[in-house]
Structure 1
């Protein structure tokens, strides 16, 4: 009888330990699951093929494919959710903390770096050239643009391209290009301004030109390379966003080294700036590399 009772007590104790361990295991799983952080990612709506919005859980386009590859590796740490909005609302929301990460075709700039955190590994390399009329054989660079008194299409002051021309003018006082500022103007109208001779040239990324020309097919051509800029992701600047940026930076480096970025740029943009030889790399790109 004693033996039977002792067996019952022992059995009950084992069962209690088993249930307790199950409870702990369930709690650990729940805790582990709760550590997955939702990251709010935003991009400008009118920025195809860099991002094409499908749903809050799916983004297509160049950045969409990059982020899908990153999400696959970091699925136990982050869950990406996507939104698109007007271009001027992206950085307002990023600064306020409404969004954690902004994607697009954004150049690194020292001014933006004061307000936002940014990728230390570029998502793309942007080769800037002058877009000119097809029958114009005089304008081939900023020096010849100045020499012919060519009219450069106005550029937003906040745009790093404005800084390129501004720096050129400081360094070449005898070959100054007339530089004017403007707000946002869409690509189709910018190209028409050149064709209609309202302006003679516009400083424009090569990949964007190739993509736009597939639709617009204007009688325009590109000059040789003027500058090469790193394209980056921008982050809401806070103590908690630093780790997110570091984790994504590691992934971007891996994707560049294994050739994924080159393949995706060829797929979506029609060219591969990562392996192509660029005519010229500006001091801006060098200073960005040093700042990393």
Structure 2
């Protein structure tokens, strides 16, 4: 019997990556469960460089590619989430800035990502940089985003998940995100000083919970930038799991060149290199989020 054309590839890294890519690009038989109720999740960490935006867009893409309709709200003036999802965010484009000011509706500000028909985005333009100053003098300044994310508007879009990508600060934009949601997802990098500043973030969440949004809680923690070659990464992982328990996802996102490169091409890593370890890790993390939501989803 003559060998099959693929016989020489069996078990090789190339073959394994091809199989992983097929799972991402052709997930027809591998849909993720939709949540019991719509979930609005704020992704926050005032520390920069922890994989916040990367985690937001790749978790959203992982859900969308597996049949779960998902909306990303880019609340960071840098607009990195908009870039990664390949949506227009030039100045003058209807965006989160106009939405916060009440000048456009949610439906008017939403764009579809080229990467999936189920992946939507409200982009951030450079105009958002001055929004915090403008919001200070407005009535209900902490609730502008919540007022825009009405159940009727989200129903019109048919979304199951909303991810809000916050700026790396604890200012008024982040407060708006915390008021608009019931859940907070905190990415924590597996590196030295990983927990530095986390206490301040948790204190702010508690303040918002006490005064503005009683139902707010930290529902998910995602460990990022894990380097299995170092003892430090394992130590940080153990410490975070000891402090936060089941809130921490089992999946850990590895440090990956592909994950870092993808935004430069206007893509998530799932579109840029679907067979990479980084892409599959985010798919696994998205599945964990979806499985948790299928039994205890939340709705505003």
Superposition TM-score tier, normalisation by shorter sequence: under 0.3
Q: TM-score, normalised by structure 1?
A: 0.27
* Structure with the largest fraction of strand: 1
- Higher RCO (C-alpha 8 Å, min separation 6): 2
Q: TM-score, normalised by structure 2?
A: 0.27
